[in-house]
Amino acid sequence: MSETSNSTLQNPISKYPQPPFNKQPQQVPGLALKMDPQPDHGEKTYKGAGRLAGRKALITGGDSGIGRAAAIAYAREGADVAINYLPEEQADADEVIALIEAEGRKGYGIPGDITHEAFCQELIAQAVEKLGGLDILVNNAGHQQAVDSLLDLSSEGFDATIKTNIYAPFWITKAALPHLPAGSVIIATSSVQAYDPSENLFDYAQTKAANVAFVKSLAKQLGPKGIRVNGVAPGPVWTPLQVSGGQPQDKIEEFGKTTPLGRPGQPAELASIYVQLADPNASYSTGQIYGAAGGSGHP
d(CA 146, CA 177): 33
- Please check whether residue 79 is in contact with residue 99, taking contact to mean a CB–CB distance below 8 angstroms: no
Sign of CA dihedral 32, 85, 236, 74: negative
- Please check whether residue 298 is in contact with residue 271, taking contact to mean a CB–CB distance below 8 angstroms: no
The length of the chain is 299
Active-site residue identified among 204, 274, 284, 290: 204
d(CA 4, CA 181): 41
Annotate 49-73 with b (16+ C-beta within 10 A) or e (fewer): eebbeebbbbbbbbbbbbbbbbbbb
d(CA 198, CA 148): 10
- Please check whether residue 267 is in contact with residue 224, taking contact to mean a CB–CB distance below 8 angstroms: no
Q: Is 108 a catalytic residue?
A: no
d(CA 65, CA 140): 10
| E strand map for 100-237 | 107-111, 136-139, 185-189, 228-234
Tell me which DSSP letter residue 246 carries. Answer: I
Catalytic residue ranges? 204
